[in-house]
Structure 1
Amino acid sequence: MKYTIVEEKKFSNLEEFLNSNRDHFETFAKLMKENADTVRKWINDGDLYKYTESDVEEIQRILDELYEETINLVDYDERSETIKVLRIKPEQTPVKKRFPTCPHCKKHINHLINEQEVIVGWKFYPDGTYSSSEILTTTDNLNVWTCPHCGNVVAETEEDALKILNP
């Protein structure tokens, strides 16, 4: 999938980050009220303010609220003591598929097992997408498909197994 870099910036403190988003004034004012403790902290600490992991998470949350249409990546650079913000926008909207989960152990399943033989699974593509694959092996006399994690029966027919793996 191709992406366009929308914005790439570095901020030396939280105040600088918040000021860079003043054009979204209503949201900015609301966020300032919601984040009064954080704002007080950088006012009190001034230039001596050091980032913490919660600051990175807070900036991530603020960005996600301001820019829903982009993927917002926030990372702390210890060497320069700055936070790097990278906003990218997919050129096409990715199709979000969720992996099915086992009803017993609740773990993600990407294939089912039929008497130790993989019957159905996922086909992965280089661009990161995936789809339900064809039946990899077939046996006529076996009729239950089990979870690879817990071993419990998940489907009793080939049709049910395909439905589970391709919700």
Structure 2
Amino acid sequence: MCQYPYQICSTHRAFRALWPKKGLPESLVQSAKIAISTKLKIKSEDITPELLYTICDEILVQRGITEYRDVYQYREGFYRGLTVSFVVLLLSLITRVLIPGAALGFSGAVKALKWQIFLFFGTLALSCVVLFYIRYRRFAKYRVRQAVIGALILEKYGTSEKESKGV
């Protein structure tokens, strides 16, 4: 189970952006909940962070505003993939250190590799894992924030520029 009430187990990292800990201000989240609960006739306390994001995102999609969403989803997936690939690299380097006799063959010559080389590349891979994971979380937060704020603005001010042009 999730440790905190602002987490959603399946994809809780993206939904943490809905809550005050370095995310959207609580007043903004409450405004979104109130706007959605009045429009959809749902109790405000029944709206979970996952449902709030889904509804706000759907409001933007139905109005044809997907440019930022697409960029954020692309970047989020890109950095998630990089994080996973560097974790696999790190695990393979750790495994290779534990199995003695690692060697590199190049131009017909075989050279034994020392553990210091694996330590260097393992440290480099671990640094990449941390940095790419931070970027992944950042773009997940951007996606959630953009959906909530965009939906609030559209609900307050009416039609989008695309709708008024008939696009």
TM score, norm. by length of structure 1: 0.18
Which structure has greater strand proportion? 1
Which structure has greater helix proportion? 2
Compare CA radii of gyration and give the structure with the larger one.
Answer: 1
Determine which structure has greater relative contact order: mean sequence separation of CA pairs < 8 Å that are 6+ residues apart, divided by chain length. Answer: 2
